Chain A
Amino acid sequence: MQLLNVVLVIFLIVCAIAVERTKDLLGAVIIYAAYGLVMAVLWLFMKAPDIALTEAAIGAGVTAILFIGVISRTRRME
């Protein structure tokens, strides 16, 4: 369990760095959705299942879709 926690936190940090270094905004949004999903699993490990539910619905679902909607109205590359 400890090892899985460490792996997930390292994945989270890599995702957070990759989001700000990606030039393609659509790719950045998809990496951000992966970040939200891993964050939901981490909330579950920290014994906060209601926050995990909200994070899985908002962070991984609705926010990414709203960002994709905004990108479709503007340009894709940074």
Chain B
Amino acid sequence: MDDLIVKTITRIIIPFIQVYGIYIVLHGHISPGGGFSGGAILGASLILYTLAFGYKDAAKKMPHHVGAILESGAILWFLALGLIGIFAGGNFLTNRDAGFYMGNLSMLFNAGLIPLVTLGIGAKVASTMITLFHTIIEED
């Protein structure tokens, strides 16, 4: 667990993994991918950090209460976006009829509430992965 090569490679490679995960989350509605895949990649980057640097350092970077706030906040964000549709007079998760900005295909945010919902799913999946792994690995 205390290897210089592993630590250096991890420090170099983690930003690229995270940029790739954020790319997949943000482009979930126009290219393959989406909230679940991108969130899993984001979570895997912090799992890699935990494996290379040990649980104590990782718990400083990503404490339990931050994970709890992210998880609960993301699912509340999802529910609030869905309830906007109900208050606008449609069904749960109504997209265009509730007044979300549709844009056109040349823009990044172009499908109404789909990118916003995907952001919430990405944050929830990433924090769930990290919390699951930290709960298994922590000493009691």
Establish whether residues A66 and B132, one from each chain, have CB atoms under 8 Å apart when the complex forms.
yes
Establish whether residues A62 and B40, one from each chain, have CB atoms under 8 Å apart when the complex forms.
yes
Establish whether residues B32 and A53, one from each chain, have CB atoms under 8 Å apart when the complex forms.
yes
Establish whether residues B136 and A70, one from each chain, have CB atoms under 8 Å apart when the complex forms.
yes
Establish whether residues B133 and A57, one from each chain, have CB atoms under 8 Å apart when the complex forms.
no
A residues within 8 A CB of B78?
Answer: none
- Closest A-B pairs by Cβ, 4 of them: A49-B32, A57-B40, A50-B32, A53-B37
The size of the chain B interface, using a CB distance under 8 A, is 17
**Distance to closest chain B CB from A55 (angstroms):** 9
CA separation between A69 and B130, bound complex, in Å? 13
Interface majority SS on A: helix, strand, loop or mixed? helix
CA separation between A41 and B14, bound complex, in Å? 24
- Given A50-B32, A53-B24, A73-B136: A62 and B129 interface contact (C-beta under 8 Å): yes
Within 8 A of A (CB), among B106-140: 129, 132-133, 136-137
CA separation between A70 and B32, bound complex, in Å? 32
Can you offer 6 A-B residue contacts whose CB atoms are under 8 A?
A: A50-B37, A54-B36, A54-B37, A57-B41, A62-B129, A69-B136
B residues within 8 A CB of A54?
Answer: 36-37, 40
**Distance to closest chain B CB from A31 (angstroms):** 20
Q: Smallest CB-CB separation from A59: which chain B residue?
A: B40
Interface residues of B (CB under 8 A from A): 24, 32-34, 36-37, 40-41, 43-44, 47, 51, 129, 132-133, 136-137
- Given A61-B44, A62-B47, A69-B137: A53 and B33 interface contact (C-beta under 8 Å): yes
Task: Answer whether residue A58 sits at the interface, using C-beta atoms and an 8 A cutoff.
Answer: yes
**Distance to closest chain B CB from A63 (angstroms):** 10
Q: Smallest CB-CB separation from A72: which chain B residue?
A: B137
CB within 8 A of B47: which of A52, A53, A65, A73?
Answer: A65
